[in-house]
């Protein structure tokens, strides 16, 4: 007889809140070769990194699938991993809204955000963004989030003074990643 951990018995969160919870878990979960998602989620609750509700909404199977993925292995073999890299950067206003008139040709805006994860390889930086959207095709994620990751790349290149060589979206829903 195997009893379910307490966090698996709680109330579930809304879709958006589940996505936020997955991001909190991925922000704090230990990355190592022998990670056990259930034990790690229990630890995160115990240490107050996440709430019981967030833990209850965790898709443990999806987290375990990520830990078995090629991108996880690649990340673990990288030179350095950076999680939740916060940034503030300036970009041209027309990059966000191409319909702005000529008065905005030289205008810039300040953008702030946080890169879920990036890792350094010998020849550059790799941006890895986690998504929980319920899509059927990874291409939909690029269409929707491609510009967001391009802005992350701009920020990362300024911060690390190295080129971003690749942007990757990992879909927890599909258990797959797409690189662009």
Q: What would the pLDDT profile of 124-162 be if each residue is shown by its tens digit?
A: 999 999 999 999 999 999 999 999 999 999 999 999 999
Cα gap 27→47, rounded to integer Å: 14
pLDDT for 6 equals 47
Residues in the chain: 180
Please tell me the pTM assigned to this model. Answer: 0.87
Measure CA 18 to chain center: 14
Which token pair is 1?
């007889």
Q: Look-up: residue for tokens 């879920």?
A: 116
Q: Look-up: residue for tokens 């996880």?
A: 72
Give 82's DSSP letter. Answer: E
Q: Look-up: residue for tokens 């898709």?
A: 59
């Amino acid at each position: 007889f195997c009893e379910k951990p307490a966090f698996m018995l709680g109330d579930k969160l809304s879709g958006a809140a589940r996505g936020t919870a997955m991001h909190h878990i991925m922000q704090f979960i230990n990355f190592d070769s022998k990670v056990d998602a259930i034990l790690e989620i229990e630890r995160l609750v115990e240490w107050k990194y996440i709430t019981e509700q967030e833990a209850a909404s965790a898709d443990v199977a999806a987290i375990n699938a990520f830990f078995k993925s090629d991108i996880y292995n690649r990340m673990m073999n990288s030179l350095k991993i950076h999680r939740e890299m916060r940034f503030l950067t300036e970009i041209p206003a027309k990059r966000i809204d191409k319909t702005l008139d000529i008065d905005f040709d030289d205008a810039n805006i300040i953008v702030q955000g946080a890169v879920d994860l990036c890792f350094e390889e010998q020849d550059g930086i790799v941006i890895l963004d986690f998504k929980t959207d319920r899509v059927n095709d990874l291409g939909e994620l690029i269409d929707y989030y491609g510009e967001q990751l391009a802005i992350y790349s701009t920020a990362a290149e300024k911060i690390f003074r190295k080129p971003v060589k690749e942007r990757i979206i990992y879909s927890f829903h599909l258990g797959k990643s797409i690189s662009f």
